[in-house]
Amino acid sequence: MEHIVIIGNGIAGVTAARHIRKLSDKRITIISAESEFFFSRTALMYVYMGHMKFEHTQPYENDFWAKNRIELVHDYVHTVETDAKKVHLNSGRDIMYDKLILATGSISNKFGWPGQDLEGVQGLVSRQDLEQLEISAPNNKVCKRAVIIGGGLIGVELAEMMASRQIPVTFLIREKGFWSGVLPMPNAEMISRHVRSHHIDLREEEEMAQIIADDSGKVKSIITKKGDVIPCDFVGICAGVRPRIEFLENSSIELQRGIMVDRYLETSVKDVYAIGDCAQQREPVGERKPIEAVWYTGRMMGEALAQTICGNPTKWNPGHWFNSAKFFDIEYQTYGWVWSNPKEGHDHFHWQHADDKRAVTIEYDLATRKFIGINTFGIRMKHEVFDVWLSNSKTVDHVVENLDKACFNPEFFEKPFKKIKQAFTTIQQIKA
Amino acid sequence: MSIYQRNMSLTGEPPKALSTTEKIASASGMVGLFILVLAFFNVNLPWKGAWLTASLVLISSGIITFARAQYSHKQAGIKNDGVWFKDLSSRGFWGWVLAIFLTSFYIVLYFFPATLGQGTDGAANTGLIGLFDPLSYLLKGQAASQWFVYGTLYTVAILSFGIKFILKYRHNSYEVIRTGSVMFFQTTFAFLIPEIMAGLNSTKDLPYYDLKNVWPLNYYLFEQWNVNALLVNGSLGMTMLLFGIASILVITPILTYKYGKRWYCSWVCGCGGLAETAGDSFRQLSDKSTGAWKIERWLVHSVLVFAVISTVGIVHSYLPKNNIYKIWEDGAVVKQYETFFTQSNFLILVGVGLTIIFALIWIFRRNELKQDARYGAIGFLFTILAFIGIHFMAGTDNLFFFNHGAVKSAYGFLIGAVFSGVIGTGFYPILGNRAWCRFGCPMAAILGLQQRLFSKFRITTNGGQCISCGNCSTYCEMGIDVRSYAQKGENIVRASCVGCGICSAVCPRGVLKLENGPLEGRINSDAVLLGQEPDLMELLSDNKN
């Protein structure tokens, strides 16, 4: 019986395992050092905030794995020997594989800041990071101030976590508005205002220069590039993530930033595949980046690779881009592409509610009026409807006219679509 | 998730101590409660009306002030911070203290009303019940009873905690409107109208009748004293009896078809009302394991069968052998009716009715039932039919071998008192706020069958946006593992769902929505998560079938 070994029990690895089991009888082994059972990393923040206990983040009951004949190995892989088709574990055990799936995920980016390895400096990617956080910042007496570096999704989550325990937060971001590398300026500024309204000391266009230690080797303060000294007991490093691939450096698998894969998610070595955050596409798909550290991408790569492994060679061919997040109280969804600045020949339509918590940005082609993508804030939208609209190349006028058909808000919620339509019509008239 | 990993010590600390306002609010509530305790220990309070008013005002304003201090300075949104760190809401010490206190209160209320000061044999009320006399006289011109005390406190709880709930979920129109509805139905239909009705007619009492309380939740609807009381009241009483029957057979199925059982369980029902308002802090404690799910399905449907048997026995016991129904009072016949409902006709009718219902489900909805549900349904039907058959062959007066009185009092004791009160509410801080609705309510079982088999209601999931975080499952008070559906992209069509809407509210990605839609495609077991190119979607979809 063919033995499939999966390194990493995140969403990518586990989805691959589940789908291989659905399609076949192959022997499946998942190796992870992080946790015995699969849990949803996206939910780590809720454990710290006290919304959930850790066991609530585990989507399957513990007997699920044995029932589905998926072997779990709680260990660390230190090397992979592709010639002998073997992985070596820290415990000294070797596991032979017929096919190997690398789904090792990512680690926090560190850019060589002085003091970046001090006690009290960390990112938030793994369960171990969360355990460390409980030591460094259990409350606002041990941690009198936290500094968070980097204005991305993990940064704002960490800020929300700290705020839930009344720990004062200084949040340094390089850009002029929150996540403005991705969000158009009006959206970015709205989120910046929202973050500040939760008493977060958000400092834009500011970067960290170095971290200063106290006598015991713990963080004492940081110095910003503008020269400000901010005393703090915790520094959250949230300047993006990079693939976790060091253990493969002496293997024959081709690496760049991530593990190089072709469109079938196969690495340079036969029978070795990589999926999720750690995989780097040789040829990016459409407008997508070669490495996508996105939960949904991990899930979908797992689905696609399971087909290939089970004898139905399937290219990694994702559908229309989508993503979502929540910034404190504002939910964000995006379908299709909305660039921070409209691409050439494109334009943005912005609408914002007076409450400063709801907004829509639509990107469209000026000449053909083709709908390119939408960002929504505080308004829930139906994935399926936008998928169809994007596939059928609907116009921006059609989309704005029919927005209410894509609404996924709960019953009795106020629907702002009339106002959005009016604003759109007015702007079109002015432009015409 | 029955076997949790217990080796992780991710323990946080409560975010903060109580603020000054919260302390004052707690003190106010405690003083209000203390007045009730004084009355309970028979401290003679003059001006009872004033003391009672003071007590109720202090308690409710304490709750409301506390809630305001908790939520009003925060922005509108989901505020579950520290729920699992707080002792009270995570089965900690104070959770157990509260559970024991509530349980003791229910035991005294149901089984030892004399302890509360209920006057017997015409004696005046004393103690706690005596304290409530002025309000009772005001509403219906009679002295209070233990149920009046309970009804008043119940209503105060739903109103005050309802305001707390509304403050907490003020960003969510569905929750605000739904809670307003529950508060309205409790105050008027469950409390004021029946009390006033009972007081209006002093010579021939109209029975205390909560119009929204439907059989089998209202398990005494068909008891002789209740039926007689309705019948002697002429056309109004008759209308009420017919309304009671229409509620079960016509009104309930139609509303459930259109809106799911939530119209009752989350918008109208008093038990649900208390669970949603006073019990909201405990919703995360419901057990989500498949083990609990199995227990739930067998238990709640067994209670339903028990309720049917008990009611059939009771009705049978007072129906005439021939076709004349007589109402006796003080040894004399006060009224008599010609009736089709003789004992035999009634039993045949019940047998035929149940068989038809069973046959309809079997013919049209068989594939929607799980294996164990099919076995259960067959088993339950044959149990009831066998009882009826044996009765005809044996020809005894006692239906089902046992004395109908014994069945009735067993039902009243086990289900009406122990389950719905003592365990159902007393154990909020341990089993979650809907333990009764989930494991014991026969009404929820009937509505659940309707919801599962022919309702337009479902919870839909949004394409591929679920991140499996588990907030929905954690905060489902009915113990449904919502996430297991959401992460597969399946609609959630469950008999137990009461449509409280909290799963949708706590979802950080906006993936869940309560909807009424067409019956076709409601149970889409082949649904897949979106995101892939179309060919792979088709493959995935095939492989799921």
Report yes or no on B278 lying in a domain: no
Q: Do B191 and B76 share a structural domain?
A: yes
**Helix, strand, coil content of chain A in percent (nearest 5):** 30, 30, 45
Q: Do B433 and B461 share a structural domain?
A: no
Closest CB from B474, B508, B539 relative to A56? B474
- The secondary element (H helix, E strand) that includes residue A273 is strand A272-274
- The angle subtended at Cα A413 by Cα B159 and Cα A320, nearest 5°, is 140
Q: Do B59 and B188 share a structural domain?
A: yes
Alpha carbon separation from B151 to B186, B443, B473 (Å, rounded):
9, 20, 32
Domain that holds residue B426: 290-321+340-439
Tell if the pTM clears 0.90, that is, is over it. yes
- Work out the pLDDT band at B544, boundaries 50, 70, 90: low
Residue found by looking up tokens 């129109």 in the block: B173
Question: pLDDT at position B7, please?
Answer: 35
CA distance B279 to B302: 25
Question: pLDDT at position B214, please?
Answer: 85
Q: Are A386 and A374 in contact (CB under 8 A)?
A: yes
Question: pLDDT at position B460, please?
Answer: 94
Q: Do B486 and B418 share a structural domain?
A: no
CA distance A164 to A156: 12
Question: pLDDT at position B11, please?
Answer: 47
What does the pLDDT look like over A267-293, one tens digit per residue?
A: 999 999 999 999 999 999 999 999 999
Q: Are B435 and A15 in contact (CB under 8 A)?
A: no
Q: Which of these ranges, A218-227, A308-317, B41-50, has the smallest mean pLDDT?
A: B41-50
Nearest C-alpha in A relative to B460:
A408
The Cβ of residue B102 has, within 10 Å, a number of other Cβ atoms equal to: 18
- Work out the pLDDT band at B76, boundaries 50, 70, 90: very high
Segment B252-263 mean pLDDT: 95
Mean pLDDT over the full length of chain A: 96
Question: pLDDT at position A354, please?
Answer: 95
Segment A328-332 mean pLDDT: 97
B336 pLDDT higher than 90: no
Q: Do B132 and B87 share a structural domain?
A: yes
Q: Are B266 and B182 in contact (CB under 8 A)?
A: yes
Q: Do B91 and B30 share a structural domain?
A: yes
- Of B409, B439, B469, which one is at a domain's C-terminal end? B439
Q: Do B306 and B158 share a structural domain?
A: no
Q: Are A280 and A314 in contact (CB under 8 A)?
A: no
Q: Are B286 and B476 in contact (CB under 8 A)?
A: yes
Report yes or no on B248 lying in a domain: no
Alpha carbon separation from A268 to A13, A260, A302 (Å, rounded):
19, 7, 19
Sketch out chain A's domains with CATH numbers: 3-107+242-309 (3.50.50.60), 121-239 (3.50.50.60), 322-431 (3.30.390.30)
What are the residues whose beta carbons fall under 8 Å from the beta carbon of B538, sequence distance 6 or more? none
Q: Do B485 and B413 share a structural domain?
A: no
The Cβ of residue A267 has, within 10 Å, a number of other Cβ atoms equal to: 25
B5 pLDDT higher than 50: no
- Strand locations in A321-358, DSSP E? 322-327, 330-336, 346-352
CA distance A274 to A305: 9
What does the pLDDT look like over B286-303, one tens digit per residue?
A: 999 999 999 999 999 988
Segment B379-399 mean pLDDT: 72
Question: pLDDT at position B2, please?
Answer: 39
CA distance A268 to B131: 84
Segment B354-373 mean pLDDT: 83
CA distance B72 to B75: 7
- The angle subtended at Cα B118 by Cα B109 and Cα B159, nearest 5°, is 50
Q: Which of these ranges, A60-74, A157-171, B530-544, has the smallest mean pLDDT?
A: B530-544
Q: Are A104 and A6 in contact (CB under 8 A)?
A: no
Question: pLDDT at position B401, please?
Answer: 53
What does the pLDDT look like over B203-223, one tens digit per residue?
A: 555 666 777 788 888 877 887
Closest CB from A54, A300, A312 relative to B8? A54
Question: pLDDT at position B400, please?
Answer: 56
Strand A99-102, strand A3-7: pairing:
parallel
Q: Do B409 and B303 share a structural domain?
A: yes
CATH number at residue B462: 3.30.70.20
**3-state SS assignment for residue A4:** strand
Nearest Cα residue to A253 out of A80, A87, A7, A3: A80
**Residue A50 with chain B: CB contacts under 8 Å:** 12, 15, 80-86
Segment B408-421 mean pLDDT: 78
Instruction: Give the strands of the sheet with A27-32, arranged side by side.
Output: A70-74, A27-32, A3-7, A99-102, A272-274
φ/ψ of residue B434, rounded to 5: -120, 30
Report yes or no on B313 lying in a domain: yes
Question: pLDDT at position B220, please?
Answer: 78
What does the pLDDT look like over A49-83, one tens digit per residue?
A: 999 999 999 999 999 999 999 999 999 999 999 99
Nearest Cα residue to B434 out of B449, B419, B446, B447: B419
**Residue B258 with chain A: CB contacts under 8 Å:** none
Contact of B539 with chain A, judged by CB distance below 8 Å, is answered with yes
C-beta atoms of B77 and A329 within 8 A? yes
Convert A28-37 to b/e letters by CB count within 10 Å (16 or more is b): bbbbbbbbbb
Question: pLDDT at position B142, please?
Answer: 85
Report yes or no on B516 lying in a domain: yes
Residue window 79-108, chain B: list those with CB within 8 Å of chain A: 80-86
B322 pLDDT higher than 90: no
Report yes or no on B498 lying in a domain: yes
Amino acid identity, residue A139?
Answer: N
A301 pLDDT higher than 90: yes
CA distance A158 to A173: 14
How many residues are given for chain B?
Answer: 545
Contact of B491 with chain A, judged by CB distance below 8 Å, is answered with no
- Of B203, B234, B257, which one is at a domain's C-terminal end? B203
Segment B18-23 mean pLDDT: 88
- Work out the pLDDT band at B545, boundaries 50, 70, 90: very low
Residue with the bigger pLDDT between B498 and B519: it is B498
Closest CB from B75, B531, B535 relative to A318? B531
Contact of B177 with chain A, judged by CB distance below 8 Å, is answered with yes
φ/ψ of residue A185, rounded to 5: -55, -45
Report yes or no on B232 lying in a domain: no
Question: pLDDT at position B495, please?
Answer: 93
Alpha-carbon gap: A373 to the closest alpha carbon of chain B (Å): 15
Q: Which of these ranges, B227-231, B281-285, B490-494, has the smallest mean pLDDT?
A: B227-231
Structure token digits, residue B239: 């209308």
Strand A359-365, strand A346-352: pairing:
antiparallel
Question: pLDDT at position B156, please?
Answer: 96
> Looking at residue B39, what DSSP letter applies?
H
Structure token digits, residue B490: 């399946």
Torsion of the alpha carbons at B57, B62, B65 and B66, rounded to the nearest 10: -160
Helices (H), A148-294: 153-164, 185-197
Q: Do B297 and B173 share a structural domain?
A: no
- Work out the pLDDT band at A104, boundaries 50, 70, 90: very high
What does the pLDDT look like over A111-136, one tens digit per residue?
A: 999 999 999 999 999 999 999 999 99
Q: Are A371 and A362 in contact (CB under 8 A)?
A: yes
Segment B37-66 mean pLDDT: 92
Residue window 23-82, chain B: list those with CB within 8 Å of chain A: 75-78, 80-82
**Residue B1 with chain A: CB contacts under 8 Å:** 55-56, 58, 61-62
CA distance B311 to B214: 13
Nearest Cα residue to A370 out of A336, A340, A421: A336
B3 pLDDT higher than 60: no
Q: Which of these ranges, A52-61, A211-220, B375-384, B445-454, has the smallest mean pLDDT?
A: B375-384
Report yes or no on B449 lying in a domain: no
Please give the tally of structural domains in chain B. Answer: 3
Interface confidence, given as ipTM, is: 0.95
A47 pLDDT higher than 50: yes
CA distance A119 to A233: 9
**3-state SS assignment for residue A229:** strand
Q: In chain A, pLDDT over 90 holds for what percent of residues? A: 99
User: Angle formed by the axes of helices B534-544 and A295-309, to 10°?
Assistant: 70
Residue window 181-220, chain A: list those with CB within 8 Å of chain B: 197-198
**Residue A23 with chain B: CB contacts under 8 Å:** 543
Report yes or no on B525 lying in a domain: yes
Question: pLDDT at position B15, please?
Answer: 47
CA distance B60 to B139: 20
- Of B439, B467, B495, which one is at a domain's C-terminal end? B439
Q: Identify the bridge partners of residue A99 per DSSP, sorted by sequence position.
A: A4
Question: pLDDT at position B357, please?
Answer: 87
Q: Are A75 and A261 in contact (CB under 8 A)?
A: no
C-beta atoms of B10 and A130 within 8 A? yes
Q: Identify the bridge partners of residue A147 per DSSP, sorted by sequence position.
A: A170, A235
Residue window 121-180, chain A: list those with CB within 8 Å of chain B: 130-131, 134, 138-139, 164-166
Contact of A380 with chain B, judged by CB distance below 8 Å, is answered with yes
Q: Do B187 and B306 share a structural domain?
A: no
Nearest C-alpha in A relative to B463:
A383
Q: Do B504 and B383 share a structural domain?
A: no
